[in-house]
Structure 1
Amino acid sequence: MPLIDGLTTLWDTLMSAQPDPPPLLVVLTAAVALAVVVARLPWRIARNAVTIAHEGGHALVALLTGRRLHGIRLHSDTSGLTLSAGRPTGPGMILTLLAGYVAPSLLGLGGAWLLAGNRITLLLWLAVALLLAMLVLIRNLFGVLSLLITGGVVLAVSWYTSPEVQAAFAWTSVWFLLLGGVRPVFELHRQRARGRMPQSDADQLGRITPFPALFWVGLFLVVCLGALAAGALLLAGPILAGAGLTA
């Protein structure tokens, strides 16, 4: 049947593994991602992707813990807001608040796991699917535009570019999430020290748990750095293989 044959072909395409990238590509994409994270203007633009992942983490965990999700707003200053209803305390609220700052790094770790198996097509299509799912939750115009532009770029790369370009884009994106997930935690600590973020996720967690806000900032950092270390090890597979350091 044509439908079954089409679905089989699609499944085979998604699950097929691409060849190992050259070690130089792994190094260059890491360098590009690091440059974007540390440079002021590129970071100011690319940080929107981190905000999308941050708010998406809040939204996903809110749904998984049974909270009523009212929507997501993304702002031009790279801030965001996820509105959910439910108990103001308890495990659901704690996990929802905890999810934001660790989401980009954990998403990057998941991407690194897929790239370690050379599942580039699957990674790109999953990214498009997640962005489309999040789009229906957006409640402001800038947020809609951000999701459409980001999803459009990923879709265009996955559909129209060569395997080499797809590999470079995928590795750069995952490196960016792993590295870019760490910087907002330091920004949070700096802003809190200046008294500018009294309603931050860490401060809200400090008010509804026995642990102070600084504890939660530290936990965010530990998770993000751990994800970066694990993800870097996965992404460095081609380099380790080339050096004969893998089994």
Structure 2
Amino acid sequence: MDDWWRRVVEVTPPADHRIVLAAGLVAVLVIAWSTTWRFARHVVTVVHEGSHGLVALLAGRSLSGIRLHSDSSGLTVSRGKPHGFGMVATLFAGYVGPGLLGLLAAWVLGTGHAIGMLWGLLVLLGLLLLQIRNLYGLWVVMVSAAILVAVTGWLPASWQSGFAYVVAWFLLLAGPWSVVDLQRSRNRGRGRTSDPDQLARMTWPGGGVWAALMLAVDVGCLVVGARLLFLR
């Protein structure tokens, strides 16, 4: 146990800027290539729905469960007032969740705790698993956790650090990309049940304004996160 804890809190040497840049390019390829994005977007959905659930609990709502679907959509059900700050915050959290988690990951990497960051993500997946209410969602979370277990259990520290940088870049980039993808669907007349459109029905700003706010948060996280990744 002591050896395991030492590995988790171990401070890794600063990554060369070329490694940081290469990790970013890998993340870009994963998102830009439709074949890999088809699978990777499920990870974004996990973070999206997990963000809904976390903020719902923080806002004092009762979380009923989370479902993840094969088309990479998801559903987080919480009970409480159908309007007000708690509901607005819960709906807003989904599309900014990946960017904010990526920013947190970049900050942790900046402190030199790449391996600890991966274990932190594994703990979050374990907590999320308790709220999953369908078999496909269980499968997605378990596969994601299995990949992290394999990386942290079998790869050398240098490879774990590189993988951690890829994950951080992926989250930072996937945040704004998901909002842009959503807006394309909205422009085609789809996605009218999306988070921005639900927010528009309970507040005075329109869905486009809410989508722009979400994009602004994600872009801000990307800019600050990228600076943190290169700073060390």
TM-score, shorter chain, exceeding 0.5: yes
C-alpha separation in 1, matches of 2:137 and 2:107: 28
1:231 to 220, 225, 229: 225
Which aligned runs of 4 or more in structure 1 are off by greater than 6 angstroms? Answer: none
1:145 to 135, 139, 142: 139
Amino acid across the alignment from 1:25: I
How far apart are 1:38 and its partner, in Å?
1.2
How far apart are 1:10 and its partner, in Å?
5.1
SS in 2 for 1:236: helix
C-alpha separation in 2, matches of 1:197 and 1:47: 17
SS in 1 for 2:106: helix
How far apart are 1:12 and its partner, in Å?
4.1
1:44 to 31, 38, 58: 38
Q: Equivalent residues in 2 for 1:10-29 (5 A)? A: 11-29=5-23
Residue identity over aligned pairs, in percent, reads 43
Q: Equivalent residues in 2 for 1:200-211 (5 A)? A: 200-211=194-205
Deviations 1:146-203 (A, max 9, x none): 0000011111111111011101110001100001111110111111111111111001
Higher-Rg member (1/2): 1
Deviations 1:113-163 (A, max 9, x none): 000111012101111100010001001111001000001111111111101
SS in 1 for 2:204: coil
SS in 2 for 1:47: helix
C-alpha separation in 1, matches of 2:15 and 2:187: 43
How far apart are 1:11 and its partner, in Å?
4.7
Moved more, 178-187 or 98-107: 178-187
Amino acid across the alignment from 1:213: G
Residue 168 in structure 1 maps to residue 159 in structure 2: no
| Partner residue in 1 for 2:106 | 112
| Partner residue in 1 for 2:73 | 79
Amino acid across the alignment from 2:58: L
Whether contact under 8 Å (2:99, 2:222) holds in the other structure is yes
Number of residue pairs the alignment of both structures matches: 232
1:53 to 47, 70, 88: 47
Instruction: Give the TM-score taking structure 2 as reference length.
Output: 0.97
Deviations 1:219-244 (A, max 9, x none): 00000000000000011124xxxxxx
- RMSD of Structure 2 on Structure 1 (CA): 1.2
Instruction: Give the TM-score taking structure 1 as reference length.
Output: 0.91
Deviations 1:23-65 (A, max 9, x none): 2211111101011111111111111111100000000000111
Structure 1: segments with no counterpart, 5+ residues: 1-5, 239-247
Structure 2: segments with no counterpart, 5+ residues: none
| Partner residue in 2 for 1:154 | 148
